Chains A and B, each alone.
Chain A
Amino acid sequence: MFAQTRKTADSLEQPPSHVGRGLKVTGVLDIDGDLFVDGTVTGRINANRVMLSPESFVDGDVVANEVHVEGRFNGRIFALSVTVESSANITGKIFHNTVSVARGARVDGRMPWRPPSYFETLTQLPETRP
């Protein structure tokens, strides 16, 4: 659904981007593909799909098509599809079109629904900037 064809060539020739457990990134991560986060990110993530592992900690905004949260998150998520696993601990807002939250997850904040068109022009929206 989300530009799958574009990514296949990419993912064949190189490993997906991975913020490892010991890594701490401060700033903006911009990727036209998938991103795994095991470490710490302070700032902003723009990606197609984002996977935040149980050990991850993200403080800031995440803009993506799909976001999968298993770790700690503080900030705002803007994604068409959001999956919150039971190990997740989220503080902030989740702007979504589809969301699922597993039993046991801690979510403190709001989860506003938006139509799909809202996410198409998201990178230009001033609202995504704190």
Chain B
Amino acid sequence: MTSMFTRNEKGPETPPAPAPKPAERTEPAPAPQAAAEPVKRPLASAQPIAAATAQRGVSVISRALKITGQLESSEDIQIEGEVNGDVRAAMVRVGAGAKVNGTVSGEEVELSGTIEGKIEARKVVLTSSAHMEGDIMHQDIAIQSGAYIAGRLQPEYGKTNVQPLKAKAE
């Protein structure tokens, strides 16, 4: 029964990868994270999320988890459960079956589930199972056939104000 709690036998952390990350993923996180807390590790890894889930920096909100409140991360978040509140991270994946009520912001947002609120991201991907109710502020967007969108698409991300999110979130 305590098997899940024994993983620290492996040592507190995996050694950081020595090689630099590919260019497109090394862009700095939005300023609020950088200021929030010192993070020892470099920003989110370049691996796909399936491989990265085992890493300690990636956050997983599983299907059984429901969060009421704010999430802020300098790394990646994978949401399979329910979030009532704002999410901000380097990369946010909202899985099929997941639901977010609030603003999702980050460098990259991939939506397969439901968002009621807003997306504000440099790169936005809506898969065929995506259900989006609200506006999307983006710089680069991909929409697969079958995605549901009720809202405006605005290619304004990073244009008018580098930090439009912060003012609205607070």
**Taking beta carbons and an 8 Å cutoff, which residues of A are in contact with B?**
1-2, 4, 10, 14-35, 38-40, 43, 49, 51, 53-55, 68, 70, 83
* CB pair B39 A22 closer than 8 Å: yes
Q: A22-B73, A24-B73 are in contact. Are A33 and B4 (CB under 8 A)?
A: no
Choose among A21, A25, A51, A53 the residue that contacts B69 (Cβ–Cβ < 8 A): A25
Would you give 11 A-B contacts (Cβ < 8 Å), ordered by A? A17-B60, A18-B62, A20-B59, A20-B76, A21-B56, A21-B75, A24-B70, A27-B85, A33-B64, A68-B5, A70-B8
Which residue in chain B gives the minimum CB-CB distance to A46? Answer: B66
Question: What A residues does B77 contact at CB under 8 A?
Answer: 20, 23
Choose among B36, B57, B61 the residue that contacts A21 (Cβ–Cβ < 8 A): B57
Instruction: Report the interface size for chain B: residues with CB under 8 A from the other chain.
Output: 38
**Taking beta carbons and an 8 Å cutoff, which residues of B are in contact with A?**
1, 4-5, 8, 12, 33, 36-37, 39-41, 53, 56-77, 80-81, 85, 89
CB distance from B96 to the nearest CB of A (A): 12
* CB pair A34 B85 closer than 8 Å: no
A83 to B61, CA, bound (A): 24
CB distance from A86 to the nearest CB of B (A): 12
Q: A20-B59, A31-B64 are in contact. Are A53 and B71 (CB under 8 A)?
A: no
